[in-house]
């Protein structure tokens, strides 16, 4: 069963852990919506649908042709994310009269973990760094020509609302659950909508934050999506050195894009007093990865210029 990070935290009585989870997800549109599957072991092997079998019409007495679907077997291995947070015992004893120093330090460590997850969620590449899981760029493969990659042109072009609609249509089996983009791309959508004499729809999430929507799809901002991608012949060839960005359309769920985690999800561990200094250590760790069960549940619009 897949649970969001927020729902999994409700099953924990560890108040420190609940505080860490809330800190992580309240400013992350991805972690607010993406469910996680708990797996036993260090990875999950699954079959991703590639092509459907063919169907035809026949006359009486015809010889029927057999065809089978094709799959690609993919293994997603859990990766270890985390860090240690040390709190000096003297400062904890003398400077916690107004604010809990240990809680403040762990909160900052949790924010750092969230930022790292959101960066790797987009740009993770186990082929470059085996310690990372593969992010959206690798799972969608924006460097190749496919039906899930919508291009703005040979070297990129200014965003249009028609191309945004094309991106949404590239996701099959229902609308995407989110359009994920940089702040520059979101500003450009606002400019285009106002120029057309309209206003983007808005709604509130569970945290009370306003969320913009395009065609009923929530717009999520990821501050790690770069506006410096390079396009050559309509394909992304680099993430730095250019003036282009990418907008991702994603469907979340066990049959679409889903997170993988070990039982217990995010963990905080009290390492305790340190031998070499007067401080106590808390470890924040997460065994996590991504799995894309169906390639048509995600799409990317590449070459978006300002």
> Are 44 and 177 found together in one domain?
no
Query: Burial code of 91-118, b = ≥16 C-beta within 10 A, e = fewer?
Result: ebeeeeeeeebbbebbbebbeebbebbb
Write the pLDDT tens digit of every residue in 6-64.
665 555 556 566 666 666 777 788 888 899 988 888 888 888 877 778 999 999 999 99
Is position 230 within any domain? Answer: yes
> Are 245 and 278 found together in one domain?
no
Q: Rounded to an integer, what distance in angstroms lies between the CA atom of residue 50 and that of residue 5?
A: 30
Q: How far is CA 212 from the centre of its chain?
A: 18
> Are 128 and 10 found together in one domain?
yes
CATH code for the domain of 217: 3.30.1930
What is the gyration radius of the CA atoms in the chain, in angstroms? 22
By three-state DSSP, how is residue 28 classified?
A: coil
Query: Burial code of 286-302, b = ≥16 C-beta within 10 A, e = fewer?
Result: bbbbbbbbbbebbbbbb
> Are 187 and 152 found together in one domain?
yes
Provide the pLDDT for residue 29.
86
Provide the pLDDT for residue 277.
87
- Of 15-19, 106-110, 139-143, 201-205, least confident by mean pLDDT is 15-19
More confident residue, 44 or 202: 44
Q: Do 222 and 234 touch, CB atoms closer than 8 A? A: no
HEC profile of 60-129: CCCCCCCCCCEEEEEEEECEEEEEEEEEEHHHHHHCCCCCCHHHHHHHHHHHHHHHHHHHHHHHCCCCCC
> Are 15 and 158 found together in one domain?
no
Write the pLDDT tens digit of every residue in 227-270.
999 999 888 999 999 999 999 999 999 889 999 998 877 788 88
Query: What are 269's two structure tokens?
Result: 């561990």
Tell me the average pLDDT of the chain.
86
Q: Do 121 and 207 touch, CB atoms closer than 8 A? A: no
Domain count, the chain: 2
Domain, as residue range, for 84: 2-50+71-132+256-292
Provide the pLDDT for residue 19.
67
CATH code for the domain of 32: 3.30.2400.20
> Are 221 and 238 found together in one domain?
yes
Nearest to 284 by CA among 44, 117, 142: 117
> Are 288 and 300 found together in one domain?
no
Q: Rounded to an integer, what distance in angstroms lies between the CA atom of residue 41 and that of residue 4?
A: 20
Instruction: Please name every residue paired with 157 in a beta bridge, in sequence order, or none if there are none.
Output: 304
> Are 23 and 116 found together in one domain?
yes
Q: Rounded to an integer, what distance in angstroms lies between the CA atom of residue 37 and that of residue 288?
A: 10
């Amino acid at each position: 069963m897949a649970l969001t990070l927020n729902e999994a935290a409700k099953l924990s009585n560890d108040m420190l852990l609940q505080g860490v989870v809330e800190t992580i997800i309240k400013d992350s549109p991805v972690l607010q919506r993406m469910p996680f599957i708990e797996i036993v072991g260090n990875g999950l092997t699954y079959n991703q649908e590639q092509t459907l079998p063919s169907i035809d019409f026949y006359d009486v007495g015809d010889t029927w042709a057999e065809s089978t679907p094709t799959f690609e077997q993919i293994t997603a291995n859990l990766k270890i994310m985390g860090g240690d947070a040390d709190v000096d015992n003297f400062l904890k004893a003398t400077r916690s009269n107004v604010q809990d120093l240990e809680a403040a330090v762990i909160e900052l460590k949790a924010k750092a973990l969230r930022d790292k997850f959101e960066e790797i969620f987009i740009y993770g590449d186990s082929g470059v760094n085996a310690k990372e899981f593969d992010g959206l760029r690798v799972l969608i493969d924006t460097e190749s020509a496919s039906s899930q990659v919508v291009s703005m042109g040979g070297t990129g072009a200014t965003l249009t609302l028609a191309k945004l609609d094309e991106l949404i249509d590239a996701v099959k089996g229902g609308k995407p659950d989110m359009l994920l983009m940089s702040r520059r791309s979101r500003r450009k959508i606002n400019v285009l909508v106002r120029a057309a004499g309209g206003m983007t729809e808005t709604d509130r999430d569970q945290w009370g934050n306003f969320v913009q929507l395009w065609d009923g799809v929530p717009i999520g901002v990821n501050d790690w999506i770069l506006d410096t991608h390079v396009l050559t012949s309509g394909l992304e060839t680099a993430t730095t050195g250019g003036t282009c960005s990418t907008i991702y359309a994603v469907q979340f769920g066990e049959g679409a894009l889903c997170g993988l985690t070990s039982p217990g999800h995010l963990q905080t561990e009290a390492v305790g007093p340190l031998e070499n200094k007067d401080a106590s250590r808390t470890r924040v760790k997460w065994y996590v990865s991504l799995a894309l069960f169906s390639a048509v549940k995600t799409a990317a619009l590449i070459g978006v210029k300002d």
